[in-house]
Structure 1
Amino acid sequence: MFRRLIPALYLSLIATQALAQSDIPVETPVENPEAAPEQILVVGQRPGPGLWKVTKDDHVLWVFGTYAPLPKNMEWRSQKVESIVAKSQEVITEPSAQLGMGWFRSLTVLPFMIGVENNPDGKVLSDLLPPGTHARWLALRKRYLKDDDDFERKRPLFAAGTLTDKAMAAAGLSKRLHLDEKITEIARQNKVKVTSTKVDMELDSPIKTVREFKKTPLEDVACFTKTIERLETDLDALRARANAWAKGDIEGIRALDFSEQESACLNAIQNSKIMQERGFGGIDTKMRAAWIGAAEKALASNKTTFALLHLKHILAKDGYLAELQAKGYSVEQPE
């Protein structure tokens, strides 16, 4: 989500990771104990899921459901999507958030970023985690992180993010296929207007914020614990979801739910004292309002609009498309 060369604050990267790791919350997970774990990930060109169709009178908003992680050896390609994007009057990007301060101010902050990942007061993970959780972490650290003791000084949130990235890579998965960039490029090649739904949150005192962050504990043990649980039990399910997205199997994605880790990690950021004091809480609410607003404006103005949206916001009972439907728009699922 964040495209600045130097992020305003490393917090923003972690918030992005928490959002990007989100899974599909469903009302009743479907259990299939007889299903064999997916050990082979799809490769080659894959189209992903079909498009959701939102209409008002004769105006259409086509919505493409994004997801991560996906098979790292897969190449996304959909002629149908490319054709619709080329014929649209507007493309709406996936909702995102960014803490910012400008290029020159960011340079002044860089020296103060040293140690920002570490726990305050010299604490280590064994001081913060229950003994059983720490033992499970050590086993995964040895497996995915070369058993480096330097990770013991990291905040649980940062350690969890690095561990997740390494475990995903080992499982043949990647969060960096950049589908949004590919679709945006198709739009620009066809001179289609691109509307960003990024929420910018400017820091007035970035150096002070960094200093305070380095001294302030986060309520991130729950995020860490849920990450450990996810990596111990959910890697096969993550691979199954990745394959389901690549094949366009929406029901396959619905059937595999593991959303508690995402919520715990996001809450560690947006409910933190620093974010709340600066009015940056409720990140997800602000992103939702930005995307819904852009979608309604486009539906009022354009014959055809194309939009990107994470599958969790599409499929959730109280998701973005459910809100549009409640407002009187017609919503059709892909066949």
Structure 2
Amino acid sequence: MRPWIVLLCLVLVVPAAFAAPMQTPPSATTTATPPVPSDVPLLAPVVVSGVVSGPGLWKVSKGDHVLWVLGTLSPLPGHIQWESHEVEQVLAQSKQVLLEPKIRLKADIGFFGKLFLLPSAYGARKNPDGKTLDQVMDPSTYQRWLALKQKYIGDDRGIERWRPLFAAQELYRKALKANGLSNDGGVSGAVAALAKSDGVPETPVEYRVEIQHPRDALKAFKAAAPSDMECFSRTLDSIEHDLPAMTARANAWATGDLGALRQLPDSHRRDACVTAITSAGFARQLGLDDVPAQLEAVWLAAARKALTDNASSFALLPMGELLSPTGYLARLAAQGYTVEAPIGLDAEPATAGSAAPAPAGSAAAH
């Protein structure tokens, strides 16, 4: 992937974290979190580990055609082995797997262009005019940054010259890893392996943006970069105060406790960081200011096509879009599709085409 595209994808795909090594004990267990200094905010007492099945599947149907949807979550416990017999049964009978919606950037650039753009891409990651973080934010925010940086990153002087948006992303990634959390717990990889074993093709669901003039795009980024202090401050808040809730949400997903997932608060850090990108001047120039709406439209079109073409299909979708009364599945319900939540999830206010929770294990019958 082109270096400047890596740069933009880094801030658009938030949050990111290195996956922790997977364990394979015989059954789901809980282990105590590693000891941390006394001044570090404490996580929930235990983090789920071992073999877990995760949440049940949502069922979207029209006539006798069905789309089964697994809600994904980030972060998840870092030491889980996800195994869902329900998903295995559904995939064995599915004709298509819809991957999570993503943005794909494509640039018209050759080999020499990559060489010349590499230094520029790294330059775009840094604050303009060689400024350091203490020069672009108020003293109290900077002191909060220093305390968390020391805990999770250490004595890295180079990061002090990064833009707050990039520095926040790196801090968040390190904090998750240090506290036993991972990006997706290996779920997407496990689904891919099952689909390959069953010969079920995976279909990327992408909003494609083609950049005709990459060099001009880099200049646009530098000239109209994100106002990223809201993202930076929200990231500090999340690490200081929200890690216990993140851990509880991760545990709830692993154990299939959808009621807890609905009730546990979300810091909305990701929303603040994505907004910082999509509202910046350069984003409008590149056609990135309407990404959420475009991603929704692309996924809904792919879901409708899968429901038309296949008797049974499978999809991965962020849990927030399943639990929200205005999410992707609510949009399908409003268009006349029947949407059934798994057992264990209280019904939302009635929407067009909605129905009672699907029986556990009902996937095997379809």
Q: Which amino acid aligns with 1:227?
A: T
Corresponding residue number in structure 1 for 2:5:
8
1:237 to 229, 242, 245: 245
Residue-by-residue CA offset, 1:32-55 (whole Å, 9 max, x unaligned): xxxx96221111111110000111
**Match for 2:77: what amino acid?**
P
User: What is the TM-score normalised by the length of structure 2?
Assistant: 0.82
Equivalent residue, structure 1, for 2:187: 179
Candidates 101, 114, 134, aligned match of 1:107: 114
Deviations 1:277-322 (A, max 9, x none): 1222111111111111111111122111111100011111210011
Q: Which amino acid aligns with 2:167?
A: A
Q: After TM superposition, give the deviation of residue 252 of structure 1 in Å.
A: 1.2
Secondary structure, counterpart of 1:141 in structure 2: helix
Which of 340, 348, 362 is the equivalent residue of 1:332?
340
**Offset, 1:148:** 2.5
Alignment of 1:129-140 (within 5 A): 129-140=137-148
Aligned match of 1:209: 217
In the other structure, the counterpart of 1:30 is none
SS of aligned partner of 2:47? coil
Give the distance between the partners of 2:2 and 2:225, measured in 1 at CA: 27
* 2:277 maps to 1:269: yes
Letter of the 1:11 counterpart: L
Contact 1:121 1:215 in 2 (8 A): no
**How far apart are 1:127 and its partner, in Å?**
2.4
Matches of 2:211 and 2:331, distance apart in 1: 31
Assess, with a 3 A threshold, how the Cα gap between structure 1 residues 293 and 250 changes in structure 2: closer, same or farther. same
Displacement after TM superposition at 1:178 (Å): 4.0
The aligned counterpart of 1:29 is none
Amino acid at match of 1:77: E
Q: Is the 8 A contact 1:19 1:266 kept in 2?
A: no
Please point out which of 137, 156, 176 is paired with 1:168: 176
SS state of the match for residue 115, structure 1?
Answer: helix
Is it true that 1:44 corresponds to 2:50 in the alignment?
A: yes
Number of residue-to-residue matches in the alignment? 317
Distance 2:338 2:228 in 1: 40
1:15-74 per-residue CA deviation (whole Å, 9 max, x = no partner) reads 012489xxxxxxxxxxxxxxx962211111111100001111111110000011111111
Distance in 1, matches of 2:2 and 2:173, equals: 20
Match of 2:127 in 1: 119
| Counterparts of 1:138 and 1:185, CA distance in 2 | 42
- Contact 2:74–2:182 (CA under 8 A) maintained in structure 1: yes
Report whether the alignment pairs 1:56 with 2:62. Answer: yes
Contact 1:7 1:99 in 2 (8 A): no
The Cα of 1:8 is off from its aligned counterpart by: 2.4
Do the aligned residues in 2 keep the contact of 1:120 with 1:217 (CA within 8 Å)? no
Aligned to 1:91: 97
Larger relative contact order (C-alpha < 8 A, sep ≥ 6)?
1
State how far apart, in whole Å, the 2-side matches of 1:128 and 1:326 are.
46
Contact 2:67 / 2:307 at 8 angstroms: preserved in 1? yes
In the alignment, the residues of structure 2 paired with residue 40 and residue 120 of structure 1 have an alpha-carbon distance, to the nearest angstrom, of 43
| Structure 2 CA distance for aligned equivalents of residues 133 and 18 of structure 1 | 21
Aligned to 2:256: 248
Contact 1:117–1:155 (8 Å) recurs in 2: yes
User: CA separation in 1, counterparts of 2:51 and 2:4?
Assistant: 33
RMSD of Structure 2 on Structure 1 (CA): 2.0
Find 1:143's aligned residue among 148, 151, 172: 151
1:302-317 aligned at under 5 Å gives the runs 302-317=310-325
Contact 2:100/2:205, CA 8 A, preserved across alignment = yes
Describe the shift of the 1:103–1:251 C-alpha distance in structure 2 as closer, same or farther (beyond 3 A). farther
CA contact (8 A) 2:242 2:267 kept: no
Provide structure 1 residue ranges, at least 5 long, that are not aligned to the other structure: 21-35
Q: Does 1:17 align with 2:25?
A: no
- 3-state SS of paired residue (2:208): strand
Aligned partner of 2:124: which letter? V
- Structure 1 window deviating more from structure 2 (317-326 vs 102-111): it is 102-111
Normalization by structure 1: what TM-score? 0.89
Greater CA radius of gyration, 1 or 2?
2
* 3-state secondary structure, aligned to 1:38: coil
Contact 1:119 1:217 in 2 (8 A): no
* Counterpart residue number, 1:323: 331
> 2:222 matched to 1:225?
no
1:188 aligns with 2:211: no
Alpha-carbon separation, structure 2, partners of 1:37 and 1:121 = 39
